[in-house]
Amino acid sequence: MRPVATHQVLVVESDLARQHAVARWIEGAGYDCLPVSVADEALALAQEEEADVAIVSGSIDAWTPAHLAHALQSRDADLPVIVVRAAGETIGGFRGRRGAVEEIEAPLTRGSVMGAVQRALEWREATADQRARYRELERALFTQASLVREACLSEPSTEAGLTEAFTAFLDRRLPGAAGHAARVRTIAVDLAHAIGMAEGARHVVGLAATLHDLGLALLPQPLRQPMDALPTLDRVLALRHPDVVSDLLAPMPGLSEVATLVRAAHERFDGRGHPRGLSGLEIPMGARLIAVACAVDRLATGDAARAADPGSDPAAAVQALAGTALDPDLVRVWLRLADRAALGAR
């Protein structure tokens, strides 16, 4: 039985094929969809407060997505707007986002759209005090990202110099994180070599592994705690950290491909990760390698669960994540490497 619709989602999209695809995802999740192809109709619906969430995809009539998003909010100040940007494009970036405007990247997936809708509804239903706290923490997050960006651009930068500077920043903000990153890099590059990845691609994977947690270091102090312990809107903001750091890295010399992998390094194979809810082969191979390497290191070197049970088997724990958090094929590759290493140590 189809769930009862409780919310209305405005979809502003001039391409009817994409409009229909997004509408199917929204209606399949039990929400009502209000599909429109022209800006005037979208603005009228916002004026009448007919929608709980709006999705703006591509330029509509004479409006850019960002301008239409702000125009919609001028009609309904509480309307959360999701702006779809082309792959590699930054509409607002960490310098221009605000409150209830979120960006997601094309090509769209069901996970990315519905994840953004869920976050938008949490914003819509939050109290004024909760939204004010969100905006304050968001300003702190983007201010920190801007300061890091300005520091990096204040002098001639190279890939190696930037990576060293980011690693130092990571360790200052999250003691021990640089050591974890170095171990993840080693494991990820070994995995990449084992599956026959070319040297240039392995280099990119190694850099992305080194920087995969940089977004966590950018978070304001109140957000630097386990995600499950955060209030709902705080968690919504904290889970944006891969987008923020990816936007920071993308224009840096030699780091555009790295930025793509960093954005996806916290996705899960089952689609329950962040920030886009990608699943399976939608997740770039390099990011899937980093996810396996990250899990291996956390389960083998002082992870809280392992600390509580020193006799636990990291290999079995990693294997248990195959098909849920991790790519099962890559887990099998790692298990073979681990077996060879164990044999070599005897």
What pLDDT is recorded for position 308?
45
What pLDDT is recorded for position 93?
44
CB 93 within 8 A of CB 149: no
Structure tokens at 266: 């916290």
Q: Which of 27, 29, 31, 33 is nearest to 12 (CA)?
A: 33
What pLDDT is recorded for position 305?
46
CB 73 within 8 A of CB 91: no
Q: How many residues does the chain have?
A: 346
Domains and CATH numbers, the chain: 8-124 (3.40.50.2300), 128-345 (1.10.3210.10)
Backbone dihedral region of 196: left (phi > 0), alpha (psi from -120 to 50 degrees) or beta? left
Cα–Cα distance measured from residue 24 to residue 270, given in angstroms and rounded to the nearest whole number? 20
Cα–Cα distance measured from residue 117 to residue 200, given in angstroms and rounded to the nearest whole number? 37
What pLDDT is recorded for position 156?
63
Instruction: Specify the pairing of strand 53-57 against strand 8-13.
Output: parallel
Residues paired with residue 34 on neighbouring β-strands, in sequence order: 10
Cα–Cα distance measured from residue 262 to residue 250, given in angstroms and rounded to the nearest whole number? 10
CB 52 within 8 A of CB 121: yes
**Mind listing the pLDDT tens digit for each residue in 303-326?**
444 444 555 678 899 999 999 999
Residue 276: burial class (beta carbons within 10 Å; 0-12, 13-18, 19+): buried
Query: Does pLDDT of 18 surpass 60?
Result: yes
Cα–Cα distance measured from residue 323 to residue 133, given in angstroms and rounded to the nearest whole number? 37
CB 21 within 8 A of CB 33: no
**Mind listing the pLDDT tens digit for each residue in 134-147?**
989 999 999 999 88
3-state secondary structure of 154: coil
Structure tokens at 297: 């290191």
**Mind listing the pLDDT tens digit for each residue in 66-121?**
889 989 999 998 899 999 887 766 544 433 445 567 888 888 888 889 989 998 99
Give all strands (DSSP E) within the chain, no chain letters.
8-13, 32-36, 53-57, 81-85, 101-105
Give all strands (DSSP E) within 192-328, no chain letters.
none
Q: What is the mean pLDDT of the chain?
A: 87
- What's the mean pLDDT in 169-196? 94
Q: How confident is the model at residue 341 (pLDDT cuts 50, 70, 90)?
A: confident
Instruction: Specify the pairing of strand 53-57 against strand 32-36.
Output: unpaired
Cα–Cα distance measured from residue 262 to residue 98, given in angstroms and rounded to the nearest whole number? 22
Query: Does pLDDT of 295 surpass 50?
Result: yes
What pLDDT is recorded for position 95?
38
Cα 127 to chain centroid, rounded: 25
What pLDDT is recorded for position 57?
87
Cα–Cα distance measured from residue 180 to residue 298, given in angstroms and rounded to the nearest whole number? 8
How large a percentage of the chain has pLDDT more than 90? 55
What pLDDT is recorded for position 346?
46
Query: Does pLDDT of 245 surpass 90?
Result: yes
- What's the mean pLDDT in 56-68? 85
Q: Which residues of 65-103 are buried (b: 16+ CB within 10 A; e: fewer)?
A: bbebbebbbeebeebbbbbbbeeeebbbbbeebebbbbb
CB 132 within 8 A of CB 112: no
What pLDDT is recorded for position 152?
78
Q: How confident is the model at residue 264 (pLDDT cuts 50, 70, 90)?
A: very high
Model-level pTM?
A: 0.86
How large a percentage of the chain has pLDDT more than 70? 89
CB 76 within 8 A of CB 49: yes
Q: Looking up tokens 């990576």, which residue turns up?
A: 163
- What's the mean pLDDT in 219-237? 91
